[in-house]
Amino acid sequence: MADVLGLGLTHFPLLGGLDEKMAILLRGTLKDPDIPAAEKDPANWPERMRREWGEDEGRSAAPAHRAELVKELARCREALDEFAPDALVVWGDDQYENFREEVVPPFCVLAYDDIEVHPFSLMNEYGNPNAWGRPDDMTFTLHGNRDWSRNLADRLITDGFDMAYSYRKREGAHFPHAIANTQMFLDYDNAGTEFPYPIIPITVNCYGQHAIARRGGLAKFAEIRDEQLDPIGPTPARCMELGRGVARALRGDGRRYAFVASSSWSHAFLTDKLWHIRPDTPADLELYDALLAGDRERWRRTTSQEIVDAGQHEMLNWFCLLGAMDELGMDLTWSTLVPTDVFNSNKCFAIFEERATTGAPA
Ligand SMILES: [Fe+2]
């Protein structure tokens, strides 16, 4: 029986907020005075984008986007429950959360035991009430296992992969929302409060040259003009190597793991060449086609510059997962890509399972 399941999903923060506010990033971007008026004019937008925007700046289209995401998340949860893991290993970006001016590692294992997390703190900052009508200061327990996480870091380092680790969340910063939202969305019906599985988080410096420059987030074009770029993050190929290393470190230790990539694909607010107005869907489709075709070499060849140009920074989490799947000989068994122009990012969902042995009885 397989002891690893692979999952890819989104941690789109605005899914945790109200439909009415799901398009706030685009609405805010359209107020940036340094974006040419023609780019902001819906008459010049692609057809799907005009349709989503409609007459009410995306408000009517939001419920359908939510319904689609919730449906695909439920499918991932079903696969997870069927597999019944001992723990999830989640690759998620750190967006100016633990990784700040003091130190920015390429990757970090969060070796925490159970920890109380405020899942709505980021959205509260944007004045966006949560989708569940829960108190703003609600917490849930994110189950962890310090020993398992510490052992993973130890094995990675022994194997030649210099892994950073953390024993304590940074004071005064949000818990990395890529990890918290993974729990919240995999347990969507309960806003994350009833999620039973422990999580071993591996945070990734997906934001690279924008990690400090843009504080892991969106910036106005006036700020970008003179920005001091940071050193780049780990390359896509290196992320795949990390995935391989994690698979080697955990394979055969007697536990069952779900390996999870947590992120949307191209983000509008990171795609400078499209004026932060919509994601780079052609770039996403190219990688999605390669994913479907099992062409992991196409993924491995991807450069850091291509990732940044396409606003695909957070996809580095998926490169980690793909490396692990490759190491373990696991295949994509189901996936879907939910494209959108108005709701910031395209969202991919995927399930990977152990490759069927040739000639095995059906
Ligand atoms: Fe993110």
pTM above 0.85, yes or no: yes
Distance CA 29, CA 36 (A): 11
Ligand 1 geometric centre to CA of 12 (Å): 7
pLDDT at 359 over 70: no
Ligand 1 geometric centre to CA of 292 (Å): 23
Ligand 1 geometric centre to CA of 2 (Å): 29
CA atoms within 13 A on the CB side of 172: 1
Ligand 1 geometric centre to CA of 116 (Å): 20
pLDDT digits (tens, 9 = 90+) for 219-277: 999 999 889 999 999 999 999 999 999 999 999 899 999 999 999 999 999 999 999 99
Mean pLDDT of all residues in 324-336:
97
CA atoms within 13 A on the CB side of 75: 20
Radius of gyration of the chain from its Cα atoms, rounded to whole angstroms: 19
In this predicted structure, what is the pLDDT of residue 47?
97
Q: Say if CB 186 and CB 258 are below 8 A apart.
A: no
Q: Say if CB 300 and CB 326 are below 8 A apart.
A: no
Mean pLDDT of all residues in 296-317:
98
In this prediction, residue 362 has a pLDDT band, given cuts at 50, 70 and 90, of very low
Ligand 1 geometric centre to CA of 298 (Å): 23
Distance CA 136, CA 276 (A): 29
Distance CA 35, CA 222 (A): 10
Ligand 1 geometric centre to CA of 39 (Å): 25
pLDDT at 1 over 90: no
Q: Say if CB 19 and CB 62 are below 8 A apart.
A: yes
DSSP classification of residue 87: E
Q: Measure CA of the first residue to CA of the last residue in the chain; give whole Å.
A: 14
Distance CA 212, CA 216 (A): 7
Pick the CATH number of 4-354 from 3.40.140.80, 3.30.565.10, 3.40.630.30, 3.40.830.10: 3.40.830.10
Ligand 1 geometric centre to CA of 290 (Å): 23
CB atoms inside a 10 Å sphere around CB 71: 12
Ligand 1 geometric centre to CA of 359 (Å): 42
Ligand 1 geometric centre to CA of 317 (Å): 10
Ligand 1 geometric centre to CA of 254 (Å): 31
Q: Say if CB 321 and CB 261 are below 8 A apart.
A: yes
Q: In 3D, which of 301, 358, 355 has the Cα closest to residue 333?
A: 355
CA atoms within 13 A on the CB side of 2: 23
Q: CB burial class (10 A; 0-12, 13-18, 19+) of residue 92?
A: buried
pLDDT digits (tens, 9 = 90+) for 50-63: 999 999 999 999 99
Q: At what angle do helices 316-328 and 236-250 cross, to 10 degrees?
A: 50
In this predicted structure, what is the pLDDT of residue 360?
44
Ligand 1 geometric centre to CA of 1 (Å): 33
Ligand 1 geometric centre to CA of 177 (Å): 7
In this predicted structure, what is the pLDDT of residue 126?
86
pLDDT digits (tens, 9 = 90+) for 140-197: 999 999 999 999 999 999 999 999 999 999 999 999 999 999 999 999 999 999 999 9
Ligand 1 geometric centre to CA of 201 (Å): 14
Which phi and psi (to 5°) does residue 342 adopt?
-90, -30
**Distance (Å) of CA 309 to CA 235, 262, 274, 279:** 14, 20, 10, 11
Ligand 1 geometric centre to CA of 121 (Å): 14
Ligand 1 geometric centre to CA of 339 (Å): 17
